[in-house]
Structure 1
Amino acid sequence: MNYFHFGLKLMILDTLKKYRQTEIEALNSKLILSLNIDGLPLFKSSKTSAWPVLGLICNLKPPKPFPITLTVGTSKPSNLEFLNETIADINSLITNGIDFNEEHFEIKLLCIICDAPAKAFVKCVKQYSGYYGCDKCEQRGQYLGRMTYPLTENLVYRTNESFRNQTQEEHHKDACCPFLDLPMDMIKDFPVDYMHQVCLGVMKKLLITWMRGPRANNRLSSNQVAQISAKLISFVQYIPQEFARKPRGLEEVDRWKATEFRQFLLYTGQFALRGVLSNNLYKHFMCLCVAITILVNEDLVLHYATYAHRLLCYFVRNCRRLYGEEFCVYNVHALLHLKSEADTFGSLEKCAAWPFENYMQQLKRKVRGGNNPAAQLVKRIFESMETDVVPAQIKVKKIMVKIPNNVYRTDRKRFCEVIRPVNREKQAFLCREYYSPECSFTYPCESYIIGHAEFLNQNYTIKTIDAENLTTRCLKVPSHHDNRYVFIPLQHNFQV
């Protein structure tokens, strides 16, 4: 395989040069790093793939991933030697720190974000398809044509000490994990990535089961699938600009991206499924919807993380009853461990692979032909480092007046639609502020808990509201009741 190590120190210094001094000062002389390791197919017509080690300074806003090491070949690496220089760099920087513009910065490693196969590979443990494949607990899987994890209670959780001592030998492989040389927690610092495990995992599995699963498991008819697709497409006009992709019908579900599954789970699914999915399946789905909405929002995590965990336990237990025991695969089991990740990192968004996945696609576009792709990637990366780049800037909040981007929640947790500016110097806007909110749903909890509210369309007053009070962008979508709309605050991080 072709291998190139850029050097962690070099790439950190190059990244810091692309930020303004105000953003550098906000770091308080501390750099918090997260890493990502994953495979990237470079071509559809060959097996050539890249295995980059990517870094990210988490406390710099906006975040900007950078490559540390690049490995390219026709298969995944046969061993973990490609990590050795990166781990040596991390150890050195944790010990000595780094100097930039006559200021010394302390380095802290926050976490290493991987999908399940890559995580098992770099930790030298059994894959999720093995009997002892969960890296968070010691449950023994049950093979039912695929590996399942039936237990939801009385789990024995792994610890840093038990991992390093290999107290459950069946979980480990013979090779030694190179990350053992770092001062890190081998369990907590390898979080469950909800982008892969929940959005591309559980949410996709639910949709495929509803569409193509056994008829005994409440498979939807073609007419019901068409109804859901029609509802999703009708939401296109209500989706604000923060969403890179508009809703698509279920006939294209095999081509949906992770962001589309997230959009369905957190925003549109509850409306598209209502009245089409059977009542018990719909309520079961709403438990997942509410729980993940809580865990991706750092404010909601502070107050409702334990409640979200109870919902996820209920969801996993009832998967066996509703969809069969073989449904409870690793991705479904991983839901039981999400609460601890949200507690550790503040929210699931802070330990997810979204920014790294975006950067991987940028890397892929740097390859312009099949001749020596490793050299092409290295050359393009150095070219981008040498180019004068405008410093990265946090997006300035701009109040929009055009539908559907003009819907906001105020600091009083009321909802409004901006009509037009009335004083551009003082940033004041004429708005329709709605009153007499009602719950948009009551199961598994009142919708107020996650910030959703329903209003009669004519229940509003005209007010002038300052821009600083328009705190959160929202979706405004039609309710299943006539002449009513539901307002949904945007929950997840759009800076990545």
Structure 2
Amino acid sequence: MPRRNEIPEGIRSKVVDMHNAGMGYKLISKSLELHHSTVRKIIHKWIRFNTVATLPRSGRPTKKLPSRTRTAQPEEADHAGPAGDRGDKTQVDLQSAGPAHLIKEDPDKKMRELNSECEDADSADYSSDSDEEDPMLRVLFPTTTNDTGEDPDHKTHKNSASCDETPEDDPMEQIFDPNFDDEKKIYAGSSVSVRALLLLLLAFILKHDLSKAATKDLLALLNLMVPGCIPSSLQFIKKHLTDIDKKTEIHLYCPRCENYLGVEPGTECGVCQQRLSKKSLLEKANYFLVLPLENQLRKVLKRLHSKLGKHFTKDDYVSDVNTGGEYKHKEQEGSITLTFTCDSSPLLNSSKFSVWPILCTINELPYVERCKNVLLHTLWFGKGKPLLQCFFTPFINELHKLSHEGFTWEDESGLELNTSVLAKICVCDSVVRSAVQNFQPFSSEFGCGFCYHKGELVQKGRGYTRVYPVQVDGCDLRHMAETEQLAIVVIENGYPQGQMGVKGHSPLLLLPSFDVVKGFIPDYMHCVCLGVVPEFVNLWLDPLYGRKRFHLSPQSLKNLDKALSAIQPPDEIRQRPRRLSERMDWEASEWRAFALLYSPVILRKILPNLYYKHWMLLISSLHTLLSQFATQEEISCAELCLVKFVSQVPSLYGLEHCSFNCHLLMHLTDCARNWGLLWANSAFVFQGVRSRLLQMYARAQSAPSNIFKQIVSYDEIIMKGSDVLKDAGTEITDLFSSMTSCGILTKSSSCISEDVFTLGCSKFSHS
């Protein structure tokens, strides 16, 4: 029977959902008209038992219970307790709180202990109020030990047998062994092999983040339809999904000053003398997760060592990263270099929470392999943004070790090699770049991180904006030595506004062999695809500029929408063009396709001729800088086009529209000369992993650790897929590609002559 004045379970679930969404106790209490202490108890109950359901209590059993249950043998207690739908882990936790006549411990005692823990948590020395508590902590770290080092629930866990574990080896666990019969089908006459089916099953489980209970039901259902086609237990799944928990490091920081504390925090902060407790830091989510690079690099290099340095290049042509002048100048034998990014991603447009990852790629791998093998090193999540000095400390420390000592790894032949690692390129947007460089933002004087352009403050609408028109006498470029000197001057003299745009030392000055000026690039995904292109399209279509010569009428917008809707793009462009009236929802890849492929055609007779020619200066230079190969003369020609494009913006559109993104166009050619053409080091390489991070966070119950596990497991499944499904049918490869969001199994475009490639499905005609 329900207890008196019991809060409905749906309301309790809503409390947990609102708390997971970042709402504090007080806001939840006000929204649901519940007492503050009631909300707190619901959250703490969910943290401990991973459920909001009413737990059984001691006392006389109800009459509805069958008599045989009251006389159950002690060994049946392992399988008693409420059944949850959150997987085996939830069931194990609830078994310790089963009916009193089936277990030895008193549930009232457990509830008293729970209330005591709640009171202790409230009285703990936290630096911020209780609204910041992380409800996912106990899911992340369920086996919190006591002072003696023993698990308080060890007895229960030991006695409870997992129904998905079998002592004997599963006969199908060797399906990925090289000697396994590739031709074995799931049944006679089927075109699907056992190996392909199990690979698709693993991809399905990862994509939809299935719980153990859901996975067991799926296995049972498939075995019911085709007996023996797949394993009957979860042993196979456990062996082939990566166990990332033991590899992940939990790094803590001070909740008051955000000072980096490392893995073991000590008793107080060395900067602000704040009292510290590791338990309280974990409960308050004052931590971020790190997956060391060394283990990831060892695995990637063992598999792809034969492809190191195998870039598709031509003599005296600029192409991939290895053809850049800065790369050649600082190239070291026996070492590899990394490109990394640290951009933030908001979980939702209306959410204050964001995810900050550090992702890396190996520059010595060809571009296609770099896209497939993105390494996730650091993952920070929470409100606002992290203190960058603290955020980068584990990354800098590991790169110090890897650059000086290197690491050993074995290739496929068993030969042991030692390789050093250097980080050379950082890719991020303008906001994050200025913060990481510790420069003034682009809206302030000397806001450019590549040159000493001061900028001008001009009126725009009802306010003012800083613009960066082309300077007739040119503008000096920044250099690392001058930047370090300016930082020292700022710190010694205490200049609050900085000096020549420099606010102080960048945390990346500690990164070995990294140039805090040339190491950053004006990424064309942010600068062009999400910057210049939408800025000018909005100028053409904004009714505010209806009297300007460049403005396009509503009828022109309808004609452009009709033209875009009629376009049938090739398979290489995965998304069909959407209407310009929906441009506010466009992604970077859509803006790129519009600028490079669609706009030269559909704007030809709609945009006034003077403005169309001006627009084509940008498009033609982008085609050069995004081509597969380019000579130094072609890059110089593209540079002249970009200078002419930016210099004509004030006369054609107005000085107030010569934005910082337009100014960054002037630095694109230097980036191409230093580090290869724009496609070789853009943020598009990281977009697939970043999108997966957000998708996983949105549905992950134990967000950070589950994200690490999903990312690494996805990479392993994709690697296996390229081998297992290389001879599979089109339907199987298409299904696998859709579930893993990768196109690694699609055939490359056909080369019909030198520098001429076909897109999509092509046929040769002999007529």
TM-score normalised by the chain length of structure 1 = 0.77
Is 1:247–1:260's contact at 8 Å kept on the other side of the alignment? Answer: yes
Q: Which runs of 5+ in 1 are unaligned?
A: 401-405, 421-429, 433-461, 463-496
* Residue in structure 2 matched with residue 5 of structure 1 by the alignment: 290
CA change 1:342–1:93 in 2 (3 A) is same
Of residues 235, 247, 251, the one that matches 2:581 is 251
Is 2:452–2:500's contact at 8 Å kept on the other side of the alignment? Answer: no
Deviation, structure 1 residue 384: 5.1
* Residue in structure 1 matched with residue 479 of structure 2 by the alignment: 159
In structure 1, how many angstroms separate the alpha carbons of the residues matched to 2:481 and 2:540? 42
1:266-311 deviation line (CA, Å, top 9, x unaligned): 1111001000000001000000000111111242244401111110
Deviation, structure 1 residue 41: 1.5
Matched, 1:223 2:555: yes
Of residues 437, 444, 447, the one that matches 1:123 is 437
In structure 2, how many angstroms separate the alpha carbons of the residues matched to 1:104 and 1:234? 55
AA at the equivalent of 1:7: P
Deviation, structure 1 residue 149: 0.8
Is 1:54–1:67's contact at 8 Å kept on the other side of the alignment? Answer: yes
In structure 1, how many angstroms separate the alpha carbons of the residues matched to 2:633 and 2:746? 27
* Residue in structure 2 matched with residue 304 of structure 1 by the alignment: 634
Does the residue aligned with 1:300 lie in a helix, a strand or coil? Answer: coil
* Residue in structure 2 matched with residue 74 of structure 1 by the alignment: 383
1:99-178 equivalences under 5 Å are 99-101=408-410, 102-144=416-458, 145-153=464-472, 154-166=474-486, 169-174=499-504, 176-178=505-507
Of residues 53, 67, 72, the one that matches 2:358 is 53
In structure 2, how many angstroms separate the alpha carbons of the residues matched to 1:71 and 1:412? 44
Does the residue aligned with 1:69 lie in a helix, a strand or coil? Answer: strand
CA change 1:389–1:95 in 2 (3 A) is same
AA at the equivalent of 1:130: S
CA change 1:358–1:278 in 2 (3 A) is same
AA at the equivalent of 2:397: A
1:394-405 equivalences under 5 Å are 398=747
AA at the equivalent of 2:552: L
Does the residue aligned with 1:54 lie in a helix, a strand or coil? Answer: strand
1:234-256 deviation line (CA, Å, top 9, x unaligned): 22x2x211112121210111111
Q: Which has the larger radius of gyration?
A: 2
AA at the equivalent of 1:159: H
1:40-83 deviation line (CA, Å, top 9, x unaligned): 11235531111111111122241121211111111111342110
Deviation, structure 1 residue 86: 0.3
AA at the equivalent of 2:540: W
Is 2:722–2:744's contact at 8 Å kept on the other side of the alignment? Answer: no
Deviation, structure 1 residue 409: 4.7
Is 2:353–2:381's contact at 8 Å kept on the other side of the alignment? Answer: yes
In structure 1, how many angstroms separate the alpha carbons of the residues matched to 2:351 and 2:759? 52
In structure 2, how many angstroms separate the alpha carbons of the residues matched to 1:279 and 1:415? 31
* Structure 1 range deviating more: 32-41 or 411-420: 411-420
Of residues 192, 196, 212, the one that matches 2:522 is 192
* Residue in structure 2 matched with residue 342 of structure 1 by the alignment: 672
* Residue in structure 2 matched with residue 232 of structure 1 by the alignment: 564
AA at the equivalent of 1:354: F
Does the residue aligned with 1:335 lie in a helix, a strand or coil? Answer: helix
In structure 2, how many angstroms separate the alpha carbons of the residues matched to 1:194 and 1:255? 19
Does the residue aligned with 2:697 lie in a helix, a strand or coil? Answer: coil
Is 2:506–2:516's contact at 8 Å kept on the other side of the alignment? Answer: no
Does the residue aligned with 1:367 lie in a helix, a strand or coil? Answer: helix
CA change 1:115–1:143 in 2 (3 A) is same
Deviation, structure 1 residue 418: 7.8
Deviation, structure 1 residue 108: 3.3
Does the residue aligned with 1:52 lie in a helix, a strand or coil? Answer: strand
Does the residue aligned with 1:146 lie in a helix, a strand or coil? Answer: strand
CA change 1:368–1:376 in 2 (3 A) is farther
AA at the equivalent of 2:753: T
Matched, 1:411 2:411: no
Higher relative contact order (CA 8 A, sep 6+): 1
Is 1:11–1:66's contact at 8 Å kept on the other side of the alignment? Answer: yes
* Residue in structure 1 matched with residue 545 of structure 2 by the alignment: 214
Deviation, structure 1 residue 216: 3.7
* Residue in structure 2 matched with residue 437 of structure 1 by the alignment: none
Does the residue aligned with 1:56 lie in a helix, a strand or coil? Answer: strand
Deviation, structure 1 residue 148: 0.7
* Structure 1 range deviating more: 155-164 or 325-334: 155-164
Is 1:112–1:191's contact at 8 Å kept on the other side of the alignment? Answer: yes
In structure 2, how many angstroms separate the alpha carbons of the residues matched to 1:383 and 1:248? 33
Does the residue aligned with 1:172 lie in a helix, a strand or coil? Answer: coil
Is 1:37–1:51's contact at 8 Å kept on the other side of the alignment? Answer: yes
> How well do the aligned residues superpose, as a CA RMSD in angstroms?
2.8
CA change 1:172–1:372 in 2 (3 A) is farther
CA change 1:35–1:277 in 2 (3 A) is same
In structure 2, how many angstroms separate the alpha carbons of the residues matched to 1:246 and 1:414? 21
Of residues 351, 367, 391, the one that matches 2:681 is 351
Is 1:152–1:336's contact at 8 Å kept on the other side of the alignment? Answer: no
1:163-200 deviation line (CA, Å, top 9, x unaligned): 121288131224x2111123222211101100000110
Does the residue aligned with 1:356 lie in a helix, a strand or coil? Answer: helix
Of residues 301, 309, 312, the one that matches 1:16 is 301
CA change 1:16–1:415 in 2 (3 A) is closer
CA change 1:140–1:20 in 2 (3 A) is closer
In structure 1, how many angstroms separate the alpha carbons of the residues matched to 2:715 and 2:702? 21
In structure 2, how many angstroms separate the alpha carbons of the residues matched to 1:279 and 1:193? 30
Deviation, structure 1 residue 157: 1.0
Does the residue aligned with 1:51 lie in a helix, a strand or coil? Answer: strand
Does the residue aligned with 1:188 lie in a helix, a strand or coil? Answer: coil
Deviation, structure 1 residue 215: 2.3
* Residue in structure 1 matched with residue 396 of structure 2 by the alignment: 87
Does the residue aligned with 1:165 lie in a helix, a strand or coil? Answer: helix
* Residue in structure 2 matched with residue 468 of structure 1 by the alignment: none
CA change 1:85–1:333 in 2 (3 A) is same
Is 2:341–2:358's contact at 8 Å kept on the other side of the alignment? Answer: yes
Is 1:418–1:431's contact at 8 Å kept on the other side of the alignment? Answer: no
Does the residue aligned with 2:294 lie in a helix, a strand or coil? Answer: helix
TM-score normalised by the chain length of structure 2 = 0.51
Compare the two structures and name the one with the higher helix fraction: 2
Does the residue aligned with 2:689 lie in a helix, a strand or coil? Answer: helix
CA change 1:325–1:230 in 2 (3 A) is same
Matched, 1:35 2:340: yes
The number of equivalent residue pairs is 414
In structure 2, how many angstroms separate the alpha carbons of the residues matched to 1:44 and 1:412? 43
CA change 1:279–1:184 in 2 (3 A) is same
